[in-house]
């Protein structure tokens, strides 16, 4: 991909359901080693944007370029090229143990436990019996252990304690810094996410209303929360 070495470029995206656009004319880029936080109230179109980028939802307008110019390739081919997608629903097999979940992803155990040593004592525990934080560590650990070039993450912090959220976000930041992984993450907890972000994109009613550096967003966080993050809109769930 040749667009300023971006690993992801979304141009004028419109995405929706049953012919009705929820996201309209959204554009942004993600570069190697950059953590971009997609913020907005419930209903702003954040998750719909991710689903359009991955191809889970068809685009109504616009284009997506990622990695080595992949556009309309199926998701599994994008994964082979270096995409990891962590959805809001934790992608674990609850009936299998932690170690089995790691091995069935084709990964050595130490590739995940090196990222999250907390899981070492839980390798023989069925994933369904792990705490919510441990389940998310397992999900994110498997995604990062593949050393992706591009990570898309939807609500890593959902329902988790602040200390666990910090642990997950630090791992994301480390992947960006050490492996040059480009990251686009949807987050409701703006202050937590912005502590680790290089850029912040704020959405409202399906459109981008702000595109700021991380430093600018941190300086303006109270204004952003008051103006854009306090109420849901429209019909999109995230």
- Assign 3-class secondary structure to the chain: CCCCCCCEEEEEEEEEECCEEEEEEEEEEECCCCEEEEECCCCCCHHHHHHHHHCCCCEEEEEEEECCCECCCCHHHHHHHCEEEECCCCCCCCCCEHHHHHHCCCCCHHHHHCCCHHHHHHCCCEHHHCCHHHHHHHHHHHHHHCCCCEEEEECCCCCCCHHHHHHHHHHHHHHHHHHCCEEEEECCCHHHHHCCCCEEEEEECCEEEEEEEHHHHHHCHHHHHHHHCCCCCCCCCC
Tens-level pLDDT at each residue, the chain (238 residues): 344 589 999 999 999 998 899 999 999 999 999 999 999 998 899 999 999 999 999 999 999 999 877 677 778 888 888 999 998 888 899 999 999 999 999 999 999 999 999 999 999 999 999 999 999 999 999 999 999 999 999 999 888 999 999 999 999 999 999 999 999 999 888 999 999 999 999 999 999 999 999 999 999 999 999 988 875 433 344 5
pLDDT value at residue 235: 39
Domain boundaries, the chain: 1-82+149-238, 94-147
Q: In angstroms, rounded to a whole number, what is the distance separating the alpha carbons of residues 65 and 72?
A: 9
| 1-82+149-238 CATH | 3.40.50.300
pLDDT value at residue 232: 45
Q: In angstroms, rounded to a whole number, what is the distance separating the alpha carbons of residues 55 and 38?
A: 18
pLDDT value at residue 179: 96
pLDDT value at residue 70: 67
Q: Are strands 8-17 and 59-66 parallel, antiparallel or unpaired?
A: antiparallel
Total-model pTM: 0.90
């Amino acid at each position: 991909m040749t667009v300023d070495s971006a690993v992801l470029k979304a141009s004028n995206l419109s995405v929706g359901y049953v012919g009705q656009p929820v996201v309209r004319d959204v554009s942004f880029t993600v570069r190697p080693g950059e953590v971009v936080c997609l913020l907005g109230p419930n209903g702003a179109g954040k998750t719909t944007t991710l689903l359009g980028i991955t191809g889970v939802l068809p685009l109504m307008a616009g284009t997506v370029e990622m990695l080595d110019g992949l556009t309309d390739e199926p998701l599994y081919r994008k994964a082979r090229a270096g995409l990891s997608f962590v959805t809001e629903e934790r992608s674990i097999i609850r009936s299998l143990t932690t170690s089995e979940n790691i091995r069935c992803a084709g990964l050595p155990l130490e590739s995940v436990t090196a990222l999250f040593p907390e899981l070492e004592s839980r390798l023989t525990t069925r994933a369904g019996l792990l705490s919510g934080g441990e389940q998310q560590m397992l999900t994110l650990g498997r995604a990062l252990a593949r050393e992706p070039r591009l990570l898309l993450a939807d609500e890593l912090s959902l329902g988790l304690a602040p200390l666990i959220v910090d642990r997950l976000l630090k791992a994301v930041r480390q992947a960006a810094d050490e492996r040059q992984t480009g990251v686009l993450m949807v987050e409701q907890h703006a202050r937590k996410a912005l502590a680790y972000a290089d850029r912040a994109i704020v959405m409202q009613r399906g459109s981008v209303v702000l595109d700021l550096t991380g430093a600018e967003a941190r300086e303006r966080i109270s204004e952003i929360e008051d103006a854009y993050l306090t109420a849901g809109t429209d019909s999109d769930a995230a």
